[in-house]
Structure 1
Amino acid sequence: MYSASYQQEGGSLFSGGGFMPTQSATQSYDGITKRSGGSQNTGLLPLTVKQISQAVQNSSDDTFFVDGIDVNNVTLVGMVFDKEERATDVSFLIDDGTGRVEVKRWIDGQDTHESMEMSALQNGVYVRVHGHLRSFQGKRNIVAFSVRPVTDFNEVTYHFLECVFVHLHNSKANGLSTKSSPLGPTSGVQTPSNPVYGGTGGGAGAYNQYMPSSIAAVNGSMDECQKRVHAIFEEPSSLAAEAGLHVDEVARRMSGYNKNQVKDAIEFLVNEGLIYSTIDDYHYKSTNG
């Protein structure tokens, strides 16, 4: 599923437990190769806008580095704002809750499909962007070679989980600190204002319904059981456990709640992007670990 070198370094972490990377996700890692002075990534690297804004830039050749990886092509998921159409290109801002970055897509006037695809793109729509990270006049932006609407909001959740996982993997592989988060200092990402999907209403409720709670800040809406289970996964000993915690271990520590209630709480935390399954369907670990 992942490249051989990636699997040897623990890339099978998400290979079970109901978290199966898509084809596009596996392609993100296939092009990573080692070279003197760092790692060169010739594939798609999943990033947040925060990571792009904090990427280290080499002044000599305008190369960007994130977690010790040479950034070339990136993939982002977010909401479209301030779309502008011109004869030769379409530009817009993409907001993923961690910040905003400008995206530009050049249009071939003879490519009818490409023109129609970009014309149909509206403000307030969630999209996945594949593109090249560059800097122009000191401002970072994305030159897109693919922009498509998100039709399944699980893709939004998956993208942010993937960003966290790749950040941890690359940081560990390059001997860097893993205390920082691609989602923010406390993983509390602010949602875009007046979010709308597909041009229809919905407001923040529609946005929060599909976003991880680290992004949608739903911690305040957890019931007591969910809060206690979440607290167990956030303990230092739990974060340090490579395979995470077994469901039975969590249930044993949850006095006053039966196993089914604990399993429901775990399922809630998984759906909200706060924990993920590791070696099997019974072991889970915090995305902050």
Structure 2
Amino acid sequence: MAGSSRETPGVVPVTVKQISETSHSGEEKANFVINGVDFTNVTIVGKVSEKAERNTDITFIVDDGTGRIGCKRWVNDTFDTKQMDEIQDGIYVLVIGHLKIFQSNKQIFAFSVRPVTNFDEITFHFIECIHDHLRNSKLQPKGDVSTQFQSSDSSLKPAVQSGSSGYQTASSGLSSEQHTVDVKTNCDELVLDYLPSSVAKERGMHRDELSQQLKIPSEKIVDSIRSLEDEGLIYSTIDEYHFKSAAA
């Protein structure tokens, strides 16, 4: 499996059930494999429960309707503390982090956790999961496509909680023309290529600095940042104006 797998850059949108069905690549870098693709960084969306705080870290459970997974956020400075103060039991969050095995269980070591402020984000996340699954399945040998899809079809059914009535399947009725996650503009690519240069900066890079350095109008930078953040390729740091690359 590992020998024929491909490595995907950036962050992979997944459901908790998909995570539970991943296999280990067996390579030294300890990647996981899904649909024949190696990955380490993931993004999930779900409801928080069992938040527990300690001096060095904060742990919590995320339930996305397909399963539950433990998450850990290291607390190294005041920014980490401030970010996690917003995260409380019962709210929906978007988590970006490294998938690892800890004490025989898969766990996400988060480097970005933020509340979901628009419930369209939940629907969009599950659409991304489906899109990624279908795209990668099509790249598999023909004999494996139907098996891959059937075995993990249930892991791609989105669910959001609606009041006290429990989980309901979220709509995924978007055409392929509407969903263009894997299409980037030249501006997106320039921003994505330039951000790793700020890896040494704890705060990341201000969007105005990106505009100045790349000589691109600020409104185009803002559009690219929004697009790349939605894809999980970059994330905000101390505020909504500073960003770092998820791959840095």
User: If the length of structure 2 is used for normalisation, what is the TM-score?
Assistant: 0.63
Query: Which 5+ residue runs of structure 1 have no aligned equivalent?
Result: 1-34, 196-201, 213-271, 282-289
2:240 corresponds in structure 1 to none
Q: Given residue 129 of structure 1, which amino acid in structure 2 is its aligned partner?
A: V
Residues 1:86 and 2:54 are matched in the alignment: yes
Task: Call closer, same or farther: CA 1:52–1:203 in 2, change over 3 Å.
Answer: same
Give the drift of 1:191: 6.0
Task: Call closer, same or farther: CA 1:156–1:188 in 2, change over 3 Å.
Answer: closer
Q: Give the Cα–Cα distance (whole angstroms) in 2 for the partners of residues 73 and 42 of structure 1.
A: 9
1:216 corresponds in structure 2 to none
Task: Call closer, same or farther: CA 1:164–1:188 in 2, change over 3 Å.
Answer: closer
Residues 1:278 and 2:190 are matched in the alignment: no
Residues 1:43 and 2:7 are matched in the alignment: no
Give the drift of 1:184: 1.4
Q: Given residue 13 of structure 2, which amino acid in structure 1 is its aligned partner?
A: P
Asked whether the equivalents of residues 95 and 101 of structure 1 are also in contact (C-alpha less than 8 Å), the reply is yes
Asked whether the equivalents of residues 126 and 158 of structure 2 are also in contact (C-alpha less than 8 Å), the reply is no
Asked whether the equivalents of residues 132 and 143 of structure 1 are also in contact (C-alpha less than 8 Å), the reply is yes
2:114 corresponds in structure 1 to 148
Give the drift of 1:203: 2.6
Give the drift of 1:150: 0.2
Superposed CA deviations along residues 72-128 of structure 1, whole A, max 9, x for unmatched, are 1100000101110000000001000000010000001xx222202212211011000
Residues 1:180 and 2:150 are matched in the alignment: yes
Residues 1:66 and 2:34 are matched in the alignment: yes
RMSD of equivalent CA atoms? 2.6
2:74 corresponds in structure 1 to 106
Q: Given residue 77 of structure 1, which amino acid in structure 2 is its aligned partner?
A: V
Residue 77 of structure 1: SS of its match in structure 2? strand
Give the drift of 1:41: 1.7
Superposed CA deviations along residues 192-211 of structure 1, whole A, max 9, x for unmatched, are 6xx7xxxxxx4337x64xx5
Q: Give the Cα–Cα distance (whole angstroms) in 1 for the partners of residues 62 and 164 of structure 2.
A: 17
1:164 corresponds in structure 2 to 130
Q: Give the Cα–Cα distance (whole angstroms) in 2 for the partners of residues 106 and 95 of structure 1.
A: 20
Give the drift of 1:181: 6.7
1:128 corresponds in structure 2 to 94
Query: Which 5+ residue runs of structure 2 have no aligned equivalent?
Result: 180-248
Asked whether the equivalents of residues 18 and 152 of structure 2 are also in contact (C-alpha less than 8 Å), the reply is yes
Asked whether the equivalents of residues 5 and 33 of structure 2 are also in contact (C-alpha less than 8 Å), the reply is no
Task: Call closer, same or farther: CA 1:191–1:158 in 2, change over 3 Å.
Answer: closer
Q: Given residue 19 of structure 2, which amino acid in structure 1 is its aligned partner?
A: I
Task: Call closer, same or farther: CA 1:190–1:160 in 2, change over 3 Å.
Answer: closer
Of structures 1 and 2, the larger Rg is shown by 1
Task: Call closer, same or farther: CA 1:63–1:113 in 2, change over 3 Å.
Answer: closer
Task: Call closer, same or farther: CA 1:149–1:191 in 2, change over 3 Å.
Answer: closer
Superposed CA deviations along residues 250-283 of structure 1, whole A, max 9, x for unmatched, are xxxxxxxxxxxxxxxxxxxxxx22x3223479xx
Count of aligned residue pairs for this structure pair: 173
